[in-house]
């Protein structure tokens, strides 16, 4: 009986964890784990539910499509459900997929269509009499958000389909994505502004599509690829491969390559070929989609409640490596959250040395049974922090002991509590010196108040010597207070005091971000700064007003309300304004879209004689131009200095205009 209770609890925890990760991925666009890790959680739940059907629930995440619907959009029902695809990461499971179809359809080799899997978000495009009328996200598979106004900003999507005027209804299924070039440009802009970079193109594309203002969407160039059908009236198709031909003739964007093959062995050959060329595509790919080519056979094969039986996604595995987990340390965040970290014997993964990996939380350590001294498999997927995938138990020492998370916290002297209904442990007190250091480091960082000279080592000394016990203490420091610290002389002490003084006039968004309010990053801080104009107005606002702001979700609102209702936080802000003299006002300016170089893309290469690369970049961006890191057909100009390398050669081969420094200044109207 006790064993069955343990199984029931494990199933319940898995369901909650999967739903949490679904929300982070689809709504917040802030995934904590890689796709393979998420799929492993789902697979474990599927296996437990299959073995113990007593615990199956109709609303289990194994029986439904994840929901990406967001507040502020009209909900629309799909005529034909939009399902997700089953995933596999190995050849054996792919061949099992073929065996299942042969049992359903007969033993002869099936004809398959093999296409790149675009790493974006699914969309349903509706055309009536050849005219674009509506765009709906997948949502929960049955209903989605109407994002028509935002999708109309996609320049490559035609408003009318020539030759399709006689077709009453066409529901065209596709994927919205952001090109690597556009992603790099946006991140370059953010870096120039001192803002943190976005994690990856997929998350940025998803967040962009869910903006409530189409003007914001138009500034970030989204793209679309079309590959499937929903409801259709007025035309008939017999093969999946016919869609690409028709879509292309109508001017719809399609995948650059596809393979129509017979038999699963040929499918595998196509996958290997695609893997070799996928880096050349304009869109990010994370795998391959394999579909039955015959549409009648698709209908015969049918679907489960979640996915079609006639299609599967084969995902390319992230790079992994084996190494020794030497120790599990506890990292304190600026909000007091305690995160376990695996300290590793350094190992190379995806071209970089990895010596630390996240263990996420106590539940993940228990689920994977991770112990100090274990040999582990570490994975680095996309832009996500390296993570411990699994333990190699065959190499485990006989005297190994399970890791006890609460006991380790006790040994470290951390007075902490696990937050009810969550997986996170958090310090009860905000006076822990490590947490205080993290808060000050974040407050002073380039992405926040940008206090030059106030780095980690200086912050540690200030806290250890008792000179700073709160953020406000920074503004009471004097140069003589610093002279007793390591590496401080009169000049360096005065420089730091002056940098702290300058931060009093920092823009409001920097101050909001610097406070370290949970879930409020730099972009959200900018939205709040523009909307309210002052800290006083923001701190006194009502939840319903916050919820109405495009880009501020319910969880962000909850976090803001909780932060400002805390008396300690309210008093700190008041003292920073009244005693320390912080400005706390919005100073953001709206970019001029009619600027000289608006719409022009530049690449800088080599060393310029009189300008640093940052100076040149700032001047180009101030004139409305973009600066990207790679040369492509879309590049307008390449600015080349001495020792210019392959970028110059590529520009010459593509016939792109090459400028020297003087020509760039002339273009900018500068002497």
- How do residues 416-474 score in pLDDT, each as one tens digit? 888 776 778 888 776 778 888 888 988 998 878 999 999 888 999 999 898 998 999 99
Same topology between domain 2-59 and domain 75-315: no
- With 0-12 / 13-18 / 19 or more C-beta atoms within 10 angstroms meaning exposed / middle / buried, residue 252 is buried
Rounded Cα distance between 47 and 10, Å, is 12
Phi, psi (rounded to 5 degrees) for 216: -65, -40
Rounded Cα distance between 619 and 639, Å, is 13
Task: Locate the domains of the chain by residue range.
Answer: 2-59, 75-315, 319-418, 433-505, 508-578, 601-668
Going from the C-alpha of 642 to that of each of 606, 607, 617, 630, 645, the distances in angstroms are: 5, 5, 17, 18, 9
Rounded Cα distance between 562 and 415, Å, is 22
| CATH fold of 2-59 | Helix Hairpins (1.10.287)
pLDDT surpassing 90 at residue 208: no
Residues contacting 239, CB < 8 A, separation 6+? 293, 294, 295
pLDDT surpassing 80 at residue 628: no
pLDDT in tens, 366-402: 989 999 999 999 987 544 568 898 899 999 999 999 9
Q: What is the pTM of this model?
A: 0.52
Whether residue 460 contacts residue 433, with contact meaning beta carbons closer than 8 Å, is answered with: no
**Cα–Cα nearest to 178, from 212, 147, 204, 216:** 204
Residue 588 neighbours by CB distance under 10 Å: 12
pLDDT surpassing 70 at residue 30: no
Q: Which CATH class is domain 433-505?
A: mainly alpha
Going from the C-alpha of 220 to that of each of 238, 349, 432, 621, the distances in angstroms are: 37, 32, 42, 15
pLDDT surpassing 50 at residue 126: yes
What tokens does 621 get? Answer: 């961006």
Judged by DSSP in three states, 626 sits in strand
Q: Which CATH class is domain 319-418?
A: mainly beta
Stretch 346-370: mean pLDDT, rounded?
85
Architecture of the 75-315 domain: 2-Layer Sandwich (3.30)
CATH 2.60.40.10 fits 508-578, yes or no: no
Known catalytic residues are 117
Strand boundaries in 419-500, DSSP class E? 425-427
Rounded Cα distance between 472 and 283, Å, is 47
Rounded Cα distance between 494 and 479, Å, is 5
**Model confidence band, residue 31 (pLDDT cutoffs 50, 70, 90):** low
Lowest mean pLDDT among 231-240, 285-294, 603-612: 603-612
Q: Which CATH class is domain 601-668?
A: alpha beta
**Model confidence band, residue 352 (pLDDT cutoffs 50, 70, 90):** low
């Amino acid at each position: 009986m006790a064993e069955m209770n343990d199984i029931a609890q494990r199933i319940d925890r898995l369901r909650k964890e999967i739903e949490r990760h679904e929300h982070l991925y689809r709504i917040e666009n802030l995934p904590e784990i890689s796709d393979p890790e998420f799929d492993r959680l789902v697979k474990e739940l599927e296996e437990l539910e299959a073995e113990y059907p007593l615990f199956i629930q109709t609303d289990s995440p194994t029986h439904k499509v994840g929901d990406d619907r967001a507040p502020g959009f009209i909900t629309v029902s799909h005529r034909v459900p939009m399902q997700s695809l089953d995933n596999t990461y190995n050849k054996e499971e792919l061949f099992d997929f073929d065996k299942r179809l042969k049992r359903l359809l007969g033993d002869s080799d099936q004809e398959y269509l093999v296409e790149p899997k675009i790493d974006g978000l699914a969309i349903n495009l509706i055309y009536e009499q050849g005219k674009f009328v509506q765009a709906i996200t997948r949502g929960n598979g049955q209903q989605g958000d109407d994002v028509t106004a935002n999708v109309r900003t996609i320049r490559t999507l035609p408003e009318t389909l020539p030759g399709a005027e006689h077709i009453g209804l066409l529901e065209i299924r596709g994927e919205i994505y952001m090109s690597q070039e556009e992603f790099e440009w946006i991140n370059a802009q953010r870096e120039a502004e001192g803002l943190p970079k976005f994690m990856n193109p997929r998350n940025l594309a998803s967040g962009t599509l869910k903006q409530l203002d189409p003007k914001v969407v138009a500034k970030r160039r989204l793209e679309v690829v079309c590959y499937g059908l929903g409801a259709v009236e007025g035309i008939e198709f017999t093969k999946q491969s016919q869609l690409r031909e028709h879509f292309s003739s109508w001017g719809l964007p399609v995948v650059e390559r596809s393979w129509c093959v017979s038999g699963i062995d040929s499918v595998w050959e196509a996958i290997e070929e695609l893997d070799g060329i996928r880096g050349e595509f304009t869109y990010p790919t994370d795998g391959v989609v394999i579909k039955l080519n015959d549409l009648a056979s698709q209908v015969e094969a049918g679907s489960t409640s979640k996915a079609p039986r006639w299609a599967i996604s084969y995902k390319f595995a992230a790079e992994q490596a084996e190494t020794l987990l030497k120790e599990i340390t506890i990292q304190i965040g600026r909000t007091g959250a305690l995160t376990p970290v695996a300290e590793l014997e350094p190992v190379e993964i995806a071209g970089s040395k990895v010596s630390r990996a996240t263990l996420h939380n106590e539940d993940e350590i228990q689920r994977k049974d991770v112990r100090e001294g274990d040999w582990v498999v570490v994975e680095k997927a996309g832009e996500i922090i390296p993570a411990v995938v699994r333990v190699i138990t065959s190499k485990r020492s006989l005297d190994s002991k399970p890791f006890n998370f609460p006991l380790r916290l006790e040994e470290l002297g951390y007075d902490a509590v696990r937050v009810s209904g969550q997986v996170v442990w958090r310090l009860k007190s905000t006076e822990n010196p490590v947490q205080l250091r993290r808060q000050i480091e974040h407050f002073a960082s380039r992405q926040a108040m940008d206090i030059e000279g106030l780095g980690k080592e200086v912050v540690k000394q200030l806290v250890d010597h008792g000179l700073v016990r709160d953020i406000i203490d920074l503004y009471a420091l004097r140069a003589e207070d610093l002279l007793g610290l390591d590496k401080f002389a009169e000049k360096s002490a005065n420089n730091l005091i002056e940098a702290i003084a300058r931060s009093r006039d920092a823009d409001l968004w920097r101050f909001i971000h610097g406070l370290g309010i949970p879930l409020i990053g730099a972009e959200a801080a900018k939205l709040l700064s523009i909307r309210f104009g002052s800290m006083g107005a923001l701190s006194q606002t009502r939840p319903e007003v916050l919820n109405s702001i495009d880009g501020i979700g319910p969880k962000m609102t909850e976090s803001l309300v909780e932060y400002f209702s805390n008396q300690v936080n309210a008093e700190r802000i008041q003292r920073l304004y009244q005693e320390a003299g912080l400005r706390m006002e919005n100073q953001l300016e709206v970019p001029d879209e009619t600027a000289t170089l608006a719409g022009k893309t530049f690449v800088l290469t080599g060393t310029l004689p009189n300008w640093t690369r940052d100076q040149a970049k700032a001047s180009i961006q101030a004139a409305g131009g973009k600066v990207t890191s790679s040369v492509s057909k879309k590049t307008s100009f390449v600015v080349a200095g001495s020792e210019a390398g392959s970028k110059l050669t590529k520009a010459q081969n593509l016939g792109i205009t090459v400028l020297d420094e003087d020509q760039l200044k002339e273009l900018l109207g500068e002497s």
